[in-house]
């Protein structure tokens, strides 16, 4: 009983009940969001060490304070045309649990955008994307003001062994 009370209090302190915070970033003029709790840090782009015979979206490995971290180009992961990296290009370092293993990875995106508090139940289910192979990676869609934000399912985006979402 006491446990229950404590848990409830915990939830109350955690802010506006069921809202979650999302970090959003831009890619190909679209705004994507990810659970902010997964984000470890945001860094500028710097050259990485190529990992031989890796998929094209794996840019290489980076030294993050002594830990070897793979860097994924999210455009390439989604099959969006590549652009040259510029001053706004950032690497979002995330920590995600993939098949019982906590992994730290870096995601290259065009630019970071904002942090929103979003009630999860407001997120709409993904409409039937007839024209996209990437629906698999999407957790839901949500409107923030005029804009639409695509909330990503990082576990699926970063599970490199799972090819089910990718064509070819």
Query: Where does this chain bind another protein (CB under 8 A)?
Result: 1-3, 5-6, 47-54, 58, 60-63, 66-70, 103-105, 160-161
Please say which residue, 68 or 148, places its beta carbon nearer to another protein: 68
b/e map 145-157, b = 16+ CB within 10 Å:
eeeebbbbbbebb
Q: Does an H or E element contain 157, and which? A: helix 154-158
DSSP 35: E
**From the CB of 76, what's the least distance to another protein, in Å?**
16
Instruction: Please report how close the Cβ of residue 104 comes to another protein at its closest, in angstroms.
Output: 5
* Closer CB to another protein, 5 or 13, in the complex: 5
Q: Which is nearer to another protein, 105 or 108 (CB)?
A: 105
The residue among 17 and 67 lying less far from another protein, judged by its C-beta, is 67
Strands (E), the chain: 19-27, 30-35, 39-44, 58-64, 67-73, 90-98, 101-109, 111-119, 138-144, 147-152
Extract the tokens encoding 34. 């990810």
Least gap, CB of 140 to another protein (angstroms): 27
Contact 88, 110 (CB under 8 A): yes
Minimum Å gap between C-beta 29 and another protein is 30
Residue 85: both structure tokens together: 């990296």
Find the shortest distance in angstroms from Cβ 92 to another protein.
15
Comparison of 75 and 103: residue with beta carbon closer to another protein: 103
């Amino acid at each position: 009983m006491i446990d229950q009370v404590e848990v409830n209090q915990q939830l109350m302190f955690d802010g506006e009940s069921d809202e979650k915070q999302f970090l959003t970033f831009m890619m190909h003029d679209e705004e994507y969001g990810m659970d902010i709790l997964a984000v470890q840090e945001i860094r500028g782009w710097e050259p990485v060490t190529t990992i031989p015979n890796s998929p094209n979206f794996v840019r290489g490995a980076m030294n993050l304070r002594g830990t070897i971290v793979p860097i994924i180009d999210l455009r390439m992961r989604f099959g969006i045309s590549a652009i040259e990296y510029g001053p706004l290009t950032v690497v979002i370092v995330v920590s995600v649990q993939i098949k019982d293993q906590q992994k730290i990875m870096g995601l290259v995106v065009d630019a970071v955008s904002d942090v929103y508090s979003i009630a999860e139940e407001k997120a709409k289910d993904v409409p039937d994307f007839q024209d996209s192979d990437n629906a698999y990676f999407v957790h839901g869609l949500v409107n923030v003001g005029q804009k639409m934000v695509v909330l990503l399912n990082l576990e699926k985006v970063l599970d490199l062994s799972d090819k089910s979402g990718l064509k070819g």
